[in-house]
Amino acid sequence: MSLSLTSLLHVTGLVKRFGGFHALDGLSFHAAAGEILGLVGPNGSGKTTSINVISGLYAPDGGNVTLDGVSIGGIASHKLVHLGVNRTFQIPKPFLSLTVRENIAVALAYGRAQVAPPTAEALMDEYRLTEVADRPASELNNAQQKMLDLVRALATRPRLLLLDELAAGLNPTELDWISARIKALAQTGMAIIVVEHLMGFIEQITDRVIVMNAGKEIFEGKLAVAVKVPQVIEVFLGGEHAA
Amino acid sequence: MRHLLLIVLPLLVIFALLPGVYQNHLLLFNFVIFLVLAQGVNIIYGFTGYLPFGYVGFFGAGAYGFAITVMHYHASAPMAVLVAGAVGVALGLFLSPLLRLSGAYFAIANMAAALAVLHFVANPALEDITRGPYGVSLTGTFNPTLAYAAALIVLALTMGIVVFLKNSSFGLALQAVREDPVSASMAGVNVVRMRVIAWLASALVAGLAGGVYAWYVSVFFPDNVFSSDFSIFAIVFALFGGVATITGPIIGVVALYGVYNLIGFTTPQYFQLIYGLLIMVLVLFLPAGLVSLATRRGWRVP
Ligand SMILES: Nc1ncnc2c1ncn2[C@@H]1O[C@H](COP(=O)(O)OP(=O)(O)O)[C@@H](O)[C@H]1O
Ligand SMILES: [Mg+2]
């Protein structure tokens, strides 16, 4: 495949165990610069775990992760951030007692972005946080905390951005708005992996999807094709989330 | 810069002038020592969230570092104070694996570590080096006036560190680590290194304070300089005023140590009661310290 040659991220045979349980069981996929890749699958299929391993929160128990051809499996998170990997959290994790501005300042100061990152003002303006700039993050609503989580990641100028259920809980207008933002980010050459349950949203923004079940990929390609594959249908109808 | 001029400088000037107008020199000296220790607790607890219940370990180790340098190497007192600081840092490095523990586990392990250092120093088998349980007498370096001046310099250094933490992205990153180490690492912060640096800085100031204390009192026993009162007082003062601020621990020391000395001397029987009630009220109603009365109103407290 020609796409895989130009890919930024390669995940091959990734394994992550918790005790005897294989949360990731030989997961393989790739993502190219400028691409928006959807990662879908029922609850517990290992989507968050794969983001946790790629972003250095857990060391893999097997398999490889490479970024630009360099093996990054098991490297500490802060070093991966400096190499251009960042992510948001399914449950946003801002620095609660710090103000929004201070939250962003930490990432701007320590992210070691290779290209000059946008200013805090520009980021807050773009992600609708200007009004709450000087309020502690604990006072933000869930959607605002998610945006702050995203802005914290963007302040480090990632080349690879992993979004874990960023859109969950947003209303339809906010969904349209955030899809446009994510697409614009991809156009700057960022590789973006989007974990999401909302199929309409996935359809709207992704170029390609990986369907996961029980810690490995069972489908790779267009979402429109995925929904016709019997194995995929079975996984989704058997799980809690129907496609 | 503003904080140095408006808070640190006046504090130092006041404590430099007070011995001229107030007779109880030892009490003033103790105030300075508690200011250093409360700010040292502020550095490690306020900015990283580790509660150092064995903080006195660094203080006592510094005091003995001073004593041993003076007794066995006949060094000058200022030189011996620097050694005391180095001993604090060395002990901090040795104990840095404790930072892997969190919450109450860290607090308890730190307390145990301080006890271990006490028993090591007080061991009769080490009599030739530490004088063991029999205590040290350093009459050769006895000079309260100079020791007081040295305490002020240590206070200046300590305040300088806190002002730096309060005004730098380094201090901000430390607070980020305290709030959420995982997110902090995803902001590019080397979490382990930051914690160790803050830990060593707080160990340094406690070691220096211990050295200055040994210089000032010149005669002491292991139980004096390893008394858990130092840890508990420093923690209570810092918490009472409010940590992660420059002024909170100062307010805490001046108010509580002031009350302690007023009530403690005249009516010791009421002291425990009032002090105990005060701490309860604080924990229940003002967990973020006195300064939170202002921050709740949206005022920024330096
Ligand atoms: N830290 C952990 N310890 C133990 N089990 C975990 C841990 N993280 C995830 N798991 C388990 O791994 C599986 C995959 O979880 P996760 O990656 O969060 O799924 P998804 O994000 O696809 O819903 C689940 O069964 C979950 O319980
Ligand atoms: Mg998940």
Q: Is the pLDDT of residue B277 over 50?
A: yes
Residue A229 lies in a domain: yes
Examine the domain organization and report whether A71 and A89 are in the same domain: no
Provide the pLDDT for residue A243. Answer: 40
Specify the DSSP element, H or E, that contains B219: strand B219-220
The chain B residue lying nearest A103, using CA atoms, is B176
Tell me the ligand closest to A25's alpha carbon. Answer: 1
Q: Which residues of B touch A102 (CB under 8 A)?
A: 172, 175
With an 8 Å Cβ cutoff, are A78 and B173 in contact? no
Strand partners, A25: A15
pLDDT, tens digit, for every residue of B140-194?
899 999 999 999 999 999 999 999 999 999 999 999 999 999 999 999 999 999 9
For ligand 1, what atom is nearest to the CA of residue A49?
Answer: 17
Predicted ipTM?
Answer: 0.92
Q: Does A196 score more than 50 pLDDT?
A: yes
What's the whole-number mean pLDDT along residues A50-72? Answer: 96
pLDDT bin (cut points 50, 70, 90) of residue A2 is very low
Q: Where are the alpha helices (DSSP H) in chain A?
A: 2-5, 47-54, 77-83, 100-110, 120-126, 142-154, 172-187, 199-205, 223-226, 230-238
Q: Does the pLDDT value for residue A240 go beyond 60?
A: no
- The reply to whether A237 and A183 lie within a common domain is yes
Q: Which ligand is nearest to the CA of A43?
A: 1
Are the C-beta atoms of A74 and A65 separated by less than 8 Å?
Answer: no
Q: Which whole-number Å values give the CA distances from B77 to A149, B61, B70, in the listed order?
A: 52, 16, 7
Q: Comparing C-alpha atoms, which of A103, A92, A120, A150 is closest to residue B175?
A: A103
Q: Does residue A152 share a domain with residue A89? A: yes
pLDDT exceeds 60 at position A153: yes
Distance from CA of A115 to the nearest CA of B (A): 15
Write the residue in B172, B175, B185 that is nearest to A77 by C-beta.
B185
Domain check: are A68 and A89 in the same one?
no
Residue in B with minimal Cα distance to A149: B183
Give the structural domain span for A127: 85-157
**Cα nearest neighbour of B187 on chain A:** A107
> What pLDDT is stored for residue A242 in this prediction?
44
Minimal Cβ distance to B179: which of A55, A82, A96: A96
Residue A1 pLDDT: 43
Domain count, chain A: 2
- Helix and strand totals (H; E) in chain A: 10, 10
What is the identity of the amino acid at B11? L
Average model confidence (pLDDT) across chain B: 91
Determine the atom of ligand 1 nearest the C-alpha atom of A19.
Answer: 4
Average confidence (pLDDT) over A200-205: 92
The response to whether residue A22 sits with its C-beta less than 6 Å from ligand 1 reads: no
Q: How big, in percent rounded to 5, are the helix, strand and coil portions of chain B? A: 80, 0, 20
Q: Are residues A191 and A243 in the same domain?
A: yes
Q: Is A45 in the pocket of ligand 1 (CB under 6 A)?
A: yes
Q: What is the pLDDT of residue B113?
A: 95
Same domain, A62 and A93: no
- The answer to whether residues A167 and A240 belong to one domain is yes
Q: Hey, where are the domains in chain B?
A: 2-296
Q: Can you read off the two tokens belonging to residue B294?
A: 């202002």
Residue A80 belongs to some domain of the structure: no
Give the model's pLDDT for residue B138: 92
User: Residue A242 maps to which CATH number?
Assistant: 3.40.50.300
Q: Quick check: B187 and A107 CB within 8 A?
A: yes
Between B42 and B102, residue with greater pLDDT: B42
Cross-strand bridge partners of residue B220: B136
Query: Which ligand is the nearest neighbour of the Cα of A214?
Result: 1
Distance, CA A218 to ligand 1 centroid (Å)?
18
- If you measure CA to CA, which chain B residue comes closest to A137? B179
- Nearest CA to CA, how far is A207 from chain B (Å)? 26
Q: For residue range B210-249, list pLDDT tens digits in order.
A: 999 999 999 999 999 999 889 988 998 999 899 989 999 9
Answer whether A96 sits within 8 Å of B180, measured CB to CB.
yes
Q: What DSSP character marks residue B45?
A: I
A3 — pLDDT class (breaks 50, 70, 90): very low
Q: Does the residue A204 lie in any domain?
A: yes
Count CB neighbours of A117 within 10 A. 19
Kindly state whether residues A187 and A67 are assigned to the same domain: yes
Question: Which of A103-107, B51-55, B122-126, B241-245 tops mean pLDDT?
Answer: A103-107
SS3 per residue for B88-149:
HHHHHHHHHHHHHCCHHHHHHHHHHHHHHHHHHHCCHHHHHHHCHHHCEECHHHCCHHHHHH
Spatial separation of the C-alpha atoms in residues A63 and A48, rounded to whole Å: 17
Q: Do A129 and A225 lie in a common domain?
A: no
Check if A42 has its Cβ closer than 6 Å to any atom of ligand 1.
Answer: no
Residue A107's pLDDT band (cuts 50, 70, 90): very high
Subunit contact A109:B173, Cβ cutoff 8 A: yes
B104/chain A closest Cα distance in angstroms: 21
Q: Which residues touch A91 (CB under 8 Å, ≥6 apart)?
A: none
- Per-residue pLDDT band for B262 (boundaries 50, 70, 90) equals confident
Q: To test the ligand 1 pocket, which listed residue (A18, A39, A163, A218) has its Cβ within 8 A of the most ligand atoms?
A: A18
Of A108, A124, A157, the last residue of a domain is A157
Residue B34 Cα, gap to closest chain A Cα (Å)? 27
Whole-number Å distance, alpha carbon A43 to ligand 2 midpoint, is 7
Cα B217 to Cα B142: distance, rounded to the nearest angstrom: 8
What separation in Å is there between the alpha carbon of A48 and the centre of ligand 1? 7
Q: What is the pLDDT of residue B119?
A: 93
Highest mean predicted confidence (pLDDT) among A218-227, B208-217, B264-273: B208-217
- Residue A241: pLDDT over 60: no
Name the pLDDT band for A232 (thresholds 50, 70, 90).
Answer: confident
- The whole-chain average pLDDT of chain A stands at 92
Kindly state whether residues A59 and A95 are assigned to the same domain. no
Residues A70, A183, single domain; the answer is: yes
Centroid of ligand 2 to alpha carbon of A187 (angstroms): 26
Task: For residue B254, give both structure tokens.
Answer: 């001046």
- Asked if B52 and B108 count as a contact pair (C-beta separation under 8 A), the reply is no
Atom of ligand 1 nearest to the CA of A90: 21
Instruction: Give the mean model confidence (pLDDT) for residues A165-177.
Output: 92
Looking at the predicted structure, is the pLDDT value of residue A238 above 90? no
